[in-house]
Structure 1
Amino acid sequence: MSLPRMQPSDGVAWITGASSGIGEAVALELARRGWTVAITARRLDQLEDLARRAEGLPGRIVAHAGDVTETDSMKAVIDGIESVQGPIALAFLNAGIAPNSKGVLDIEAFERTLAVNLVGVARGLSAVLERMALRGRGQIAVNASVAGYGGLPGGSAYGVSKAALIHLCETLKFTCDKRGVRLQIVNPGWVDTPLTRTKSFSMPLIMSQEEAARRIVDGFARGGFEIAFPRRLAWLLKLLNLLPYPAYFWIIDKAARRGGAKVL
């Protein structure tokens, strides 16, 4: 079966976690390419501000407030979007957090991170996939991270959530293929966003959120399962994870200490 690469004429795009960072930049990039983009986050005022900034672009942005940690909220958001804007053809499930942890393993931060980054994404994925599967057509992308490839110092909760998203999408791809839904995983390296600006360690090959958005939207159009960038960083981390554990831990520990990462 040939999987679709959805176009603006097929319906609307939906982005979660769109009030800032990568979600905000992807929404603007899609609007530049003619999409009607429905954006979701908890803060309606920030969403409406982004919608105003898109005025004059070939496409448009419309705000639909919702909370990815609430199942009923996600279903209501999708109902609202499709009843007013039309069918969701492209979904980018992007909502995520990376709180600073305290101690060796901060359980509160761990639970909060997984509630948003993993369970929250799964809620949106479940709801929109059900609609697309019934139509036999659609495209979904999940924002994970190269941090999900393997264990990195100081990133237990965030890394676990992103690794789980990669595994989830790998697992669901078989079902999605059979239902005519293209499923993609987005694995960025470091991107200059409000989230990364709270961190103090070195971030090699960091790029602007606008450049990241262009690469992501290009990936939507190109198809393929994984959208990973920058390629040098993604392939390096993939190769490191092929090494025996003693070599992997030695290299990562040396690199982390040199870059100023927090090793508890």
Structure 2
Amino acid sequence: MTYDLLIDAGNTRIKWALAAPGAALGNWVAQGAHMHADAAEFPTALIAALGAVPAVGRVLIANVAGQPARDMLASWLAAPQLPVQQQAIEWFASVPQRAGVRNAYRNPAQLGCDRFAAAIGAHALCPGKAIVIANCGTATTIDAITADGTFLGGMILPGLGLMATSLARNTAQLPQVKPGKLPEGFADNTDDAILSGCLAAQSGAIERAFELHQAVECIISGGAAPYIAPAVPVPYRHVENIVMIGLHAALRSA
């Protein structure tokens, strides 16, 4: 019996999950996440998790963190302590069609591989539905997938943290605020006013995409999702890591 290893190297964190053969989407044997600053912990955690499985048959990696992250991951996966064959490793890329999703980007290869994976995951979770998927991380991406699985395109905007940091860095008197609960009504202090404005911008973009696409469901994912989702005025489902689920769906369809 061989297991599947899925890795999502994003702008802020490296996430991984181990799936048993035939497992339901998102049903992991083990999983973990490491900030890039603490990335040295990744191989140790992975070695510990893989020590409990007979072998890794396939590895699928989505990397949007650039060549240094790719080189680092390739080096770690070549470690003799890991039961990973190099020929089993695939670097996930955006292609015209995969796993029931057609990529309608003008240049399909230009689409970020994390967005393509998220689209595959969303379509696998909601087949036959017009969906909007909002992945709220360092950047927030909001994409539209048709009921028959066509990725139409979407929006990219600064993530919640970037919005707040931009105000703090580029204005003389505004403080750095941390993500939190949406203040009720109009904010009566500067911290809440910044947070309210940033959350309104995020939720408003999601609402706009939902209405434009005439979607029936919205999937919200990413590290900032717990803060943004309660502010979204359309029906939504919070999914922990839609990119990882998309990678899993892509492997299951192979």
Pairwise TM-score range, normalised by the shorter structure: 0.3 to 0.5
Higher strand share: 2
Larger Rg: 2
Q: TM-score, normalised to structure 1's length?
A: 0.33
TM-score between the two structures when normalised by the length of structure 2: 0.34
